[in-house]
Structure 1
Amino acid sequence: MERVPMTLRGHKRLEAELKNLKSVERPAVIQAIAEARAHGDLSENAEYHAAKEKQGFIESRVMELESALGRAEVIDSSKMSGDIVRFGATVMLADVDNDEESTYQIVGVDEADIDSGLVSITSPIARALIGKSEGDVVDVQTPRGEKSYEILEVKWI
């Protein structure tokens, strides 16, 4: 089985989601299916079909989370140091064209969330940053063309 890197925070978040699905969501949807069945004719029972669809989603997500957690190689970035960008680093960047600053943490595929500043290790920006250090300028191929960023700071949090 191929191991995939994951931050400690990301691992805890996925574990919490899995626990919620198994202990709260799964029993609730089973109850909803039982109540919908009690209404009789299942062929035209919208509540029953909606609950069965939700059950399918929950079971699929449980399997997805169990797989991700089973393959995870947990890395605690707060115990790392140095100014070279590696997995788990939080990197402050400045757009070379307009000096606009942004901050990203390089995380595992299963925990990426661009709106929260978490970029996947496989993303173009993370691939451009890996191995670089403070003061370096990197070129990143984005959907809107090539962008250049200067690495202002590398933090380990």
Structure 2
Amino acid sequence: LVDEENISTDLIELEIVESDAIDDLDAVSAVIHQCEDVGVHFALDDYGTGYSSLTYIRRLPVQTLKIDQIFVKDILTDQDDLNIVEGVIGLARAFGREMIAEGVENTEIGVRLLELGCNCAQGYGIAKPMPFTEIPAWVRQYRFPSEWIEVAKKLSAA
């Protein structure tokens, strides 16, 4: 079991769904600032599926943009989705935000995201949802796909 008294708040990241955040931008922003004061971080989830206004990136003090899986899953076959993902990666960089690509279902999508500059991802290609009690064993046995390691080496050498 987790001992809640020993969890560092800077290890906590809460997700705000983009479409919910815009309902009352000032109130959401104020809550985020209060939570930041105790070290809690925030991610803007499902980015790209709502209004995706630059105002939200500028006014919401989130640390992370999560690129919605609806765009990520087809970046190998759909030029429009690839363009959207590239655009969100560019926005994240421009505003100094971290990014996580959702929907990484296979190694090839992960390779393409690495090539685009996105090195954080989630999806069934990494792990399926699991009870928190199984996470330590998964962490001990998980190995990055060799293709990802090769791309990372090439990019770091460049």
Name the TM tier (shorter chain).
under 0.3
Larger radius of gyration: 1
Using the size of structure 1 for normalisation, the TM-score is 0.21
Bigger RCO of structures 1 and 2 (CA < 8 A, at least 6 apart): 1
TM-score, with length taken from structure 2: 0.21
Higher helix share: 2
